Amino acid sequence: MIKMGGFNLENLSLITILIIILFAWSARIEPCHARQGKYWRQSKTAPAASVSMQSHHHGRSLSKFTDSYYILPDKTMATQKGQSSASTFNVLDYGAKGDGHTDDTKAFEAVWAAACKVEASTIVVPSGSIFLVQPISFSGPNCAENIIFQLDGKIIAPTSAGAWGSGLLQWIEFTKLKGITIRGKGVIDGQGSVWWNDLPTYSPDSEVSSELSAKMPSTKPTALRFYGSTDVTVTGITIQNSPQTHLKFDDCTSVQVSGFTAASPENSPHTDGIHLQNSRDVLIYSSDLACGDDCVSIQTGCSNVYIHNVNCGPGHGISIGGLGKDNTKACVSNVTIRNVAMQNTLTGVRIKTWQGGSGSVQGVTFSNIQVSGVETPIMIDQFYCDGSKCSNESSAVAVSDINYVNIRGTYRRNPLHFACSDNLPCTGLSLDTIELNSVGEDAQPFCWNTYGDLRGTLVPPIHCLQSGKSRKPVVYC
Q: How far is CA 50 from each of CA 58, 84, 467, rounded to the nearest angstrom?
A: 22, 14, 71
Rg (CA), the chain: 30
User: For the chain, what is the mean pLDDT?
Assistant: 83
Cα gap 412→346, rounded to integer Å: 9
What pLDDT is stored for residue 84 in this prediction? 54
Cα gap 67→65, rounded to integer Å: 5
Beta-bridge partners for 447: 418
- Exposure on the CB side of residue 417, measured as CA atoms within 13 A: 21
Query: What predicted TM-score, i.e. pTM, was given to this entire model?
Result: 0.80
What pLDDT is stored for residue 53 in this prediction? 31
In 44-133, the DSSP E strands lie at 88-90, 99-103, 122-125, 130-132
* Cβ–Cβ under 8 Å, residues 147 and 181: yes
Q: Which residues have CB under 8 Å from 107's CB, separation 6+?
A: 91, 94, 95, 96, 97
In 16-152, the DSSP E strands lie at 88-90, 99-103, 122-125, 130-132, 136-139, 147-151
Neighbours of 44 (CB within 10 A): 11
Q: Which residues have CB under 8 Å from 359's CB, separation 6+?
A: 300, 323, 324, 328, 329, 330, 331, 397, 398, 475, 477
- Exposure on the CB side of residue 299, measured as CA atoms within 13 A: 16
Best CA proximity match to 307, nearest among 380, 367, 377, 235: 367
Cα gap 339→40, rounded to integer Å: 42
* Cβ–Cβ under 8 Å, residues 409 and 371: yes
Which tens digits make up the pLDDT trace of 339-375? 999 999 999 999 999 988 999 999 999 999 999 999 9
Q: How far is CA 123 from each of CA 78, 99, 112, 120, 135, rounded to the nearest angstrom?
A: 9, 19, 7, 10, 18
Cα–Cα–Cα angle for 91, 93, 98, rounded to 5 degrees: 50
Residue type, 195: W
Express as a percent the part of the chain with pLDDT over 90.
71
- Exposure on the CB side of residue 429, measured as CA atoms within 13 A: 29
What pLDDT is stored for residue 75 in this prediction? 34
Each of the 477 residues of the chain gets a pLDDT tens digit; together they read 444 444 444 444 544 544 444 444 444 433 322 222 222 223 333 333 332 333 333 333 322 222 222 222 333 334 445 445 689 999 999 999 999 999 999 999 999 999 999 999 999 999 999 999 999 999 999 999 999 999 999 999 999 999 999 999 999 999 999 999 999 999 999 999 999 985 444 343 444 444 444 789 999 999 999 999 999 999 999 999 999 999 999 999 999 999 999 999 999 999 999 999 999 999 999 999 999 999 999 999 999 999 999 999 999 999 999 999 989 999 999 999 999 999 999 999 999 999 889 999 999 999 999 999 999 999 999 988 776 566 667 788 999 999 999 999 999 999 999 999 988 999 999 999 999 999 988 899 999 999 999 999 999 999 999 998 787 887 788
Please identify every residue annotated as catalytic. 293, 316
Residue type, 171: W
Cα gap 455→442, rounded to integer Å: 22
Cα gap 426→446, rounded to integer Å: 13
User: In a 3-state reduction of DSSP, which class is residue 67?
Assistant: helix
Element (H, E) at 112: helix 105-115
